[in-house]
């Protein structure tokens, strides 16, 4: 039988599954599923080399469904092919046709949108918040090249979705890196949620855009499996990245679903049979046969997974010297961002899984050390932070440990991408430099002030694998930043490290110990416990010295981690009349909140908190700007005095 | 004198100012300033119609410097033209050449990046976090069209910056709306921060992209003022939006600055004279005269500012009926997102300043009511949330009151844009629907769980004009959502309202009173004070009823606002043994934190908090998913019982 006939027959057979499962769930997007059916069938049965019994196989070709709401189409094909589901190989089982009726149920692995971590390992990333899949595909393709694995990556993108700028950020990266093994397939059905798509997202204009972005472009009928296969062609012969613009119909084959108002609406239960009959009628009209088998796909290429090996951190001083910072070390002042760069350099030698990505600020974040030593394992994503984060998630899905850096401020451009990576349980390490008010002269457009609240908020969320959805590490000195970089590589799961611009003195001995959830007491007193982290800890240390001169002895705690085990801090505060003062150079939602939550759960501590309570501006020096926002050492000392009633 | 000669002479004269002011500041980007000098000079002296004595004039042509780090060039021109600075007309004064030496100082209006709110009203938006200016320009142009004001909007975009996908989102919107009065000028100097720009951002490829996005494109020499002016041409004759790709040199005219390693580095103090001499040498080589006057620009077109008029809210029931929700009202259940739509409809009639923007989900957010009634005042931004938020900020700069809506989850794509709008003090109203876990079936890719932490974190930050940097409103029922929509229109400053998917019963009488910072006691008891907001308040109400059946009487508080005045809540808790339980369907960083902060500052309350502590997945019903994450009514009741020791 011709591929065309096969695909038509399967599209009708499985299209009915799509209709039935969404109706059973009471929600979902059957018309979008029908639009991509021929593409998915062509890929999964014919083009892709993969093992339905082992979706974890590192040699499998991959399919990223960027327009995640169309996922019932893939579930239907997957069940037909006997693909296995489960969180790991030990619990894996074949997906059955019966499972489809549990779509979207709490106990089902078939989430409303692609969600690999719930047990659908065919996917590499949670998608559904639109525009992110092509970046994930770029990351997967870059990872495959690094490992010299000849796997192909197919990404299906909605036409309406292609309005998201991130799609074009990914196109730029794919072109820059010459990632010819990722194929961008634009599913152009002409309909969005609220209305038709804009002319700017029409097949013609998408094709013109892709060509301008230096892709080879094929515009095809997306319901012709042979045209799809021909457009994909032989990957080995590609000189340029490939974009396929597939003209499709939303609700293909099913007249009653073609009305655009049906976006995201299942067929009413009493209309399901009629809708299925419409599909049968379509097949009859096409003259394709009705009964077809489910052939096995082609075998994946041979490949081994990347595995984690034990890491032995290089001694701190050796690493600083290796990064050319021997004299800074002797002078005793090193910015946390520089220590990060030095750590990444030695870590890169110790762990082949480590890769780095940056957004045209590698000479500020100090990812540059790594980039120079390991150019193949460094991805310059240029000024496109959304793509930076999602591409890192793609590389993590292939077993790498990506460190993605930019100014912390600019990472906030990718908050949605961070959230999606948390759903994916992506093992990525985000490093935001120049954080907080201490940046000074460049002004607020470069200062991250919301980042602590944003990243902390997921730090006590269980990711279902016994880990926090996000670990936040906030080093106060080079020793800590250095140790945290190694800790991030050791820890499986998302981490965010917040570094600062200024050079600061060392607070820790080179062999100081840190742990996720930990904190350290740096000074002990009896009047009040001052808790801080990052740059602000230095300000607090100055305040503690000023207070000591006035006879007020303070305990000083470095609370460098979220999640934070507050018990030792409360224990320290028990020796300071249960008085606590927190100080941060960011907005609300961070350390003060965390300590207040712990204290208020007990109920007999007095917690004062200082955060940045004023939108900052430029100032020449860090001291100037800290004073401007009321976070100078004198301000902290004053507040501590008030708190102790002195 | 020819425009070309004039611009060369000014570029050299003011280029020296750029060099000197950045050296005086000890930081800044002189080489970027020199690259855009001819463009800025051509625009500000010759092309633009504007009044340096009245930068607030609503008829002024506008210049948006998207690549904000190049701002010293504009400061130099502005001082030369005697432009006035200050936060308002009452405090306005002319900027002088002497002021330039205070660049970046805490007391200066000349911030490191464009920052209108600190007293530089020539700009409409804070820029410097890249990629956002063209969206702001699109908003300004749309606003001008709505008011029939013939002002032109010029936007200067860096080549490296054009890697940001948001630029292309803005291009799409400009093309969709036919905004021919906004001119996108790409400054292609070929150099980024860390390295050369990619070939993907070369003048040739940027030009090809802009053409594919349906712009007329002129590629010119960006140091030829006459070429710049000719490319701009006569706006009245434009059939398509215009993009100018200007080839420039970073560090134009000054050999010692041309080295790309000089990005963001001022000239050393002892090299300033030599650098200025190089500029003089360039001028001599060009053969342009040296001394030129500063001519006055052309006058702005006549225009009046949009002014705020007193608003009298339509009665709730009338508004629901006007939106076709009379029967829902009778049945007593209306989703907060629907009430928002109904409110916007009547508000649109009451206040001509109100405009709405949405991202292809207007039939879910219910911005659709407004879109149908006021199509001219509605902007369908399609699936491009970054552009949505920045375009709203642009419309706000022109005096409109934009309501920008999408799923709350998707607004998190624009966190950086929100942060920049806070720095701008943009009077925008963000409305995020389908918030929190209650969305259920669609799964976590559509659920906003970080939004409360993100938006709340700026709610206690003073914006310098006596207002919070962001007000967060979280309605539990239709009455509240309706009232909050009016409150947002009344309030000057950024607001975020969080609405939910499910239809919920009314908790409030139609004339209930609300205020920013407020809360309401819905039930009084003696055992414990339960504090919640939004959908979760309904869950808590159920829990309170379950507890009452067990003889445990609870106080129930709706804490719908950040900033939150916690004093009345603590006062309520004084009558419940100082015991408090908070419950939220989002991650950390929200209501529980706020109450804990207030309680821990006093020190004698016991605060228990419930938040979403597990990454959710799909579930068929809201009840299912609330149980899955441990936030069912039974869970709340159980926790309350534990807290009261029962």
Does A194 sit within 8 Å of B362, measured CB to CB? yes
Chain B residue closest in CA terms to A197: B382
CA atoms within 13 A on the CB side of B325: 27
CA-CA distance, B128 to B105, in Å (whole number)? 17
* CB-based contact, A422 to chain B, within 8 Å: yes
Q: Given its phi and psi angles, is residue B539 left (phi above 0), alpha (psi -120 to 50 degrees) or beta?
A: alpha
The overall average pLDDT reported for chain B is 97
* Min distance B454 CA to chain A CA atoms (Å): 5
Q: Nearest residue on chain A to B162, judged by CA atoms? A: A383
Binary contact (B106, A617; C-beta < 8 A): yes
Q: What is the mean pLDDT of residues A133-139?
A: 98
Chain segment A443-483, per-residue pLDDT in tens: 999 999 999 999 999 999 999 999 999 999 999 999 999 99
Nearest CA distance, B176 vs chain A (angstrom): 7
Tell if the CB–CB gap between A458 and B112 is shorter than 8 Å. Answer: no
Cα separation, B21 vs B76, in Å, equals 9
Q: Is A568 on the interface with B (CB under 8 A)?
A: no
Inter-chain residue contact A589 with B593, CB threshold 8 Å = yes
* Sign of the alpha-carbon torsion through B66, B71, B74, B79: positive
Q: Which of residues 183 through 202 in chain A touch B, CB cutoff 8 A?
A: 192-195, 197-201
Distance CA A250, CA A483 (A): 52
Interface of A with B in 599-628 (CB under 8 A): 599-609, 611-615, 617-620, 624-625, 627-628
Structure confidence at residue B295 (pLDDT): 85
pLDDT of B331 strictly over 80: yes
Q: Which of A13, A177, A385, A584 is catalytic?
A: A385
User: Rounded to an integer, what distance in angstroms lies between the CA atom of residue A96 and that of residue A108?
Assistant: 12
Dihedral angle at the C-alpha atoms of A501, A503, A506, A512, nearest 10 degrees?
Answer: 30
pTM of the predicted model as reported, rounded to 2 decimal places: 0.98
Name all contacts of A47-51 with Cβ < 8 Å and 24+ positions apart.
A47/A152, A47/A154, A47/A228, A47/A229, A47/A232, A48/A152, A48/A154, A48/A297, A48/A298, A49/A151, A49/A152, A49/A297, A49/A298, A49/A299, A49/A300, A49/A301, A50/A297, A50/A298, A50/A300, A51/A297, A51/A299, A51/A300
Q: Does B130 touch chain A (CB under 8 A)?
A: yes
Q: Which residues of A touch B111 (CB under 8 A)?
A: 443-444, 617-618
Q: How far apart are CA B33 and CA B265, in angstroms?
A: 12
Q: Is the pLDDT of residue A295 over 90?
A: no
Report CB contact under 8 Å: B360, A192: yes
* Mean pLDDT score across all residues of chain A: 97
Report H helices in A109-202. Answer: 133-147, 165-177
* Residues paired with B158 in a beta bridge: B187
**Inter-chain contact B619–A166, Cβ cutoff 8 Å?**
no
How far is Cα B473 from Cα B563, in angstroms, rounded to an integer? 9
The shares of helix, strand and coil residues in chain B, as percent rounded to the nearest 5, are 45, 15, 40
* Structure ipTM over 0.90, yes or no: yes
Q: Smallest Cα–Cα separation from A186: which of A220, A235, A141, A233? A: A220
The residue among A391, A47, A64 whose CA lies nearest residue A235 is: A47
The CA distance from B322 to B313, in Å, is 13
Nearest to A619 among B106, B130, B420 (CB): B106
How far is B226 from chain A, CA to nearest CA, in Å? 28
Which of A127, A161, A445 is opposite residue B445, by nearest beta carbon?
A: A127
Q: Which B residues in the span 27-66 are in contact with A, Cβ-Cβ below 8 Å? A: 27-28
- Among candidates A24, A41, A185, which has minimal Cα distance to A110? A24
Report residue A258's pLDDT band, with 50, 70 and 90 as the boundaries.
confident
pLDDT in the model for residue A249: 96
Q: How far is B511 from chain A (nearest CA, A)?
A: 33
pLDDT, one tens digit per residue, over B278-302 is: 999 999 999 988 878 888 999 999 9
Instruction: Give B-chain residues touching A164 at CB under 8 angstroms.
Output: 165, 169, 383-384, 413
Question: What is the torsion angle, in degrees rounded to the nearest 10, for the CA atoms of residue B530, residue B535, residue B538 and residue B540?
Answer: -30
Q: B575 touching A, CB under 8 A?
A: no
How far is the alpha carbon of B512 from chain A, nearest alpha carbon, in Å? 30
Q: Is residue A262 scored above 80 in pLDDT? A: no
- Cα-to-chain-centroid distance, residue B570: 34
Measure CB to CB from residue A212 to each of B25, B108, B208 and give the nearest one: B208
Q: Give the strand pairing for B182-188 and B216-221.
A: unpaired
Give the max Cα distance, chain B: 94
Is B199 within 8 Å of A208 when comparing Cβ atoms? no
Give the whole-angstrom CA distance, residue A343 versus residue B309: 59
pLDDT score at B289 = 86
For B587-618, the pLDDT digits (tens) are: 999 999 999 999 999 999 999 999 999 999 99
B469, exposed or middle or buried, with CB in 10 Å at 0-12, 13-18, 19+? buried
Which of A113, A195, A464 lies closest to B443 in CB terms? A113
pLDDT in tens, A336-372: 999 999 999 999 999 999 999 999 999 999 999 999 9
Q: What is the pLDDT of residues A228-244, one digit of tens each?
A: 999 999 999 999 999 99
User: Average pLDDT of A3-23?
Assistant: 97
The shortest C-alpha distance from A452 to chain B (Å) reads 9
- CA pair distance B622, B13, nearest whole angstrom: 67
Is the predicted pLDDT of residue B619 greater than 70, yes or no? yes
Sign of the alpha-carbon torsion through B24, B26, B30, B31:
positive
Q: Return the residue in A430, A588, A642 with the most chain B beta carbons within 10 A, the one to mutate for interface testing.
A: A588
> How much is the average pLDDT of A47-65?
98
Closest in B27, B443, B457 to A588, CB measured = B457
| 8 Å CB contact of B620 and A457 | no
Rounded to whole angstroms, the Cα distance separating B271 from B23 reads 10
Inter-chain Cβ pairs, chain A and chain B, closer than 8 A? 445
Task: Return the DSSP state at A42.
Answer: I
Asked if A450 and B415 come within 8 Å (Cβ–Cβ), the reply is: yes
pLDDT bin (cut points 50, 70, 90) of residue B259 is low
Q: Are A164 and B104 within 8 A, CB to CB?
A: no
Q: By CA distance, what is A204's nearest residue in B?
A: B212
Listed residue (B138, B209, B225, B197) closest to B217, CA to CA: B209
CA-CA distance, A583 to B499, in Å (whole number)?
Answer: 33
Distance from CA of B588 to the nearest CA of A (A): 4
Distance CA(A424)–CA(B628), nearest Å, equals 18
Rounded Cα gap, residues A248 and A423, in angstroms: 30
B566 and chain A in contact, CB less than 8 A: no
Residue whose structure tokens are 């609870």: B554
pLDDT (average), residues B356-375: 97
Q: Give the nearest partner residue to A618 out of B104, B358, B449, using CB atoms.
A: B104
Judge: A168–B166 Cβ closer than 8 Å, yes or no.
Answer: no
Ranges of beta strands (E only) in A291-440 are 333-334, 354-358, 378-380, 401-407, 429-433
Tens digits of per-residue pLDDT, A473-527?
A: 999 999 999 999 999 999 999 999 999 999 999 999 999 999 999 999 999 999 9
Asked whether residue B456 carries a pLDDT value surpassing 60, the answer given is yes
Distance of CA A71 to the CA centre of its chain: 20
Residues of B annotated catalytic, as ranges = 385
Q: Tens digits of per-residue pLDDT, A67-101?
A: 999 999 999 999 999 999 999 999 999 999 999 99
Question: How many Å apart are CA A361 and CA B263, to the nearest integer?
Answer: 11
Smallest CA–CA separation between A4 and chain B, in Å?
33
Residue B310: exposure state from Cβ atoms within 10 A (0-12, 13-18, ≥19):
exposed
Among the partner residues B165, B382, B450, nearest to A386 by beta-carbon distance = B165
Mean pLDDT, rounded, for A623-645: 98
Neighbour count for residue B491 (Cβ, 10 Å): 18
B442 touching chain A per CB within 8 A: yes
Surface of B (228-267) touching A: CB under 8 A? none
- Whole-number pLDDT of residue B260: 55
Test A620 with B588 for CB contact under 8 angstroms: no
Helices (H), B63-164: 72-81, 97-100, 133-146
Tell me the mean pLDDT in the region B51-61: 98
Q: Which of A214, A423, A609 sits opposite B445 (nearest CB)?
A: A423
Judged by CB atoms closer than 8 Å, whether chains meet at A615 and B423 is answered as: yes
**A615-624, B260-269, B603-612 — which is least confidently predicted?**
B260-269
* Residue count of chain B: 646
Report yes or no: A163 at the B interface, CB cutoff 8 Å: yes
Taking an 8 Å cut-off on Cβ atoms, the answer to whether A361 and B456 are in contact is: no
Instruction: Chain A: give the shortest CA distance to residue B61, in Å.
Output: 24
Q: What percent of chain B has pLDDT over 90?
A: 96
Which residue of A131, A163, A456 is in closest CB contact with B589? A456
Sequence-separated (6 or more) residues with CB below 8 Å from residue B286: B8
| Average pLDDT rounded to a whole number, residues B254-265 | 79
Is B244 strand, coil or helix?
strand
């Amino acid at each position: 039988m011709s591929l065309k006939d096969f695909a038509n027959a399967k599209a009708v057979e499985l299209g009915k599954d799509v209709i039935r499962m969404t109706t059973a769930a009471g929600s979902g997007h059957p018309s979008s599923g029908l639009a991509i059916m021929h593409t998915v069938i062509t890929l999964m049965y014919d083009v892709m080399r993969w093992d339905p019994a082992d979706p974890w196989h590192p040699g499998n070709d991959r399919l990223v469904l960027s327009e995640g709401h169309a996922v019932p189409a893939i579930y239907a094909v997957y069940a037909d092919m006997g693909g296995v589901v489960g969180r790991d190989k030990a619990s894996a089982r074949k997906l059955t046709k019966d499972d489809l009726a549990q779509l979207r149920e709490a106990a089902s692995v078939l989430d409303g949108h692609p969600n690999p971590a719930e047990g659908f390992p065919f996917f590499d990333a949670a998608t559904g918040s639109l525009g992110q899949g092509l970046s994930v595909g770029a990351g997967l393709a870059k990872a495959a090249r690094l490992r010299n694995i000849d796997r192909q990556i197919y990404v299906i993108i909605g036409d309406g979705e292609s309005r998201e700028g991130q799609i074009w950020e990914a196109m730029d990266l794919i072109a820059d890196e010459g990632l010819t093994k990722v194929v961008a397939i634009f599913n152009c059905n002409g309909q969005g949620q609220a209305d038709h798509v804009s002319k700017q997202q029409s097949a013609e204009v998408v094709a013109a855009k892709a060509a301008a972005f230096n892709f080879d472009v094929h515009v095809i009928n997306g319901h012709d499996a042979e045209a799809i296969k021909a457009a994909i062609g032989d990957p080995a012969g590609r000189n340029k990245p490939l974009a396929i613009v597939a003209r499709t119909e939303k609700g293909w084959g099913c007249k009653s679903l073609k009305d655009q108002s049906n976006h995201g609406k299942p067929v009413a239960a009493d209309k399901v049979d009629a809708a299925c009959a419409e599909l049968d009628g379509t097949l009859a009209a096409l003259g394709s046969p009705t009964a077809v088998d489910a052939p096995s796909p082609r075998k994946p290429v041979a490949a081994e997974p990347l595995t984690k090996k034990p890491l032995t951190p290089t001694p701190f001083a050796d690493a600083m010297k290796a990064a050319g910072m021997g004299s800074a070390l002797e002078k005793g002042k090193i910015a946390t961002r520089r220590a990060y760069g030095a750590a990444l350099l030695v870590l890169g030698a110790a762990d082949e899984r480590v890769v780095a990505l940056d957004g045209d600020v590698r000479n500020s974040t100090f990812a540059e050390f790594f980039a120079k030593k390991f150019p193949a394992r460094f991805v310059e994503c240029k000024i496109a932070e959304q793509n930076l984060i999602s591409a890192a998630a793609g590389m993590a899905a292939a077993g790498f440990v990506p460190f993605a850096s930019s100014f912390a401020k600019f990472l906030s451009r990718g908050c949605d991408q961070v959230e999606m990576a948390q759903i994916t349980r992506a093992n990525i390490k985000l490093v935001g430099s120049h954080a907080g008010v201490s940046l000074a002269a460049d002004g607020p457009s470069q200062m991250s002030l919301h980042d602590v609240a944003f990243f902390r908020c997921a730090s006590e969320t269980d990711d279902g694998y016994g880990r926090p959805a996000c670990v936040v590490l906030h080093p106060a000195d080079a020793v800590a930043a250095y140790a945290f970089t190694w800790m991030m590589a050791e820890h499986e799961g998302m981490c965010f490290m917040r570094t600062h611009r200024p050079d600061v003195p060392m607070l820790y001995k080179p062999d100081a110990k840190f742990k996720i959830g930990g904190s350290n007491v740096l000074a002990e007193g009896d009047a009040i416990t001052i808790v801080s982290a990052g740059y602000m800890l230095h300000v607090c240390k100055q305040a503690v010295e000023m207070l000591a001169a006035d006879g007020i002895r303070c305990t000083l705690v470095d609370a460098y981690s979220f999640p934070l085990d507050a018990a030792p801090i409360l224990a320290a505060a028990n020796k300071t009349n249960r008085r606590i003062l927190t100080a941060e150079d960011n907005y609300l939602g961070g350390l003060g909140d965390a300590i207040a939550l712990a204290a208020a759960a007990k109920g007999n501590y007095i917690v004062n908190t200082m955060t940045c309570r004023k939108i900052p501006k430029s100032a020449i020096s860090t001291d100037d700007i800290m004073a401007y926002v009321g976070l100078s050492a004198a301000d902290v000392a004053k507040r501590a005095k008030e708190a102790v009633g002195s």
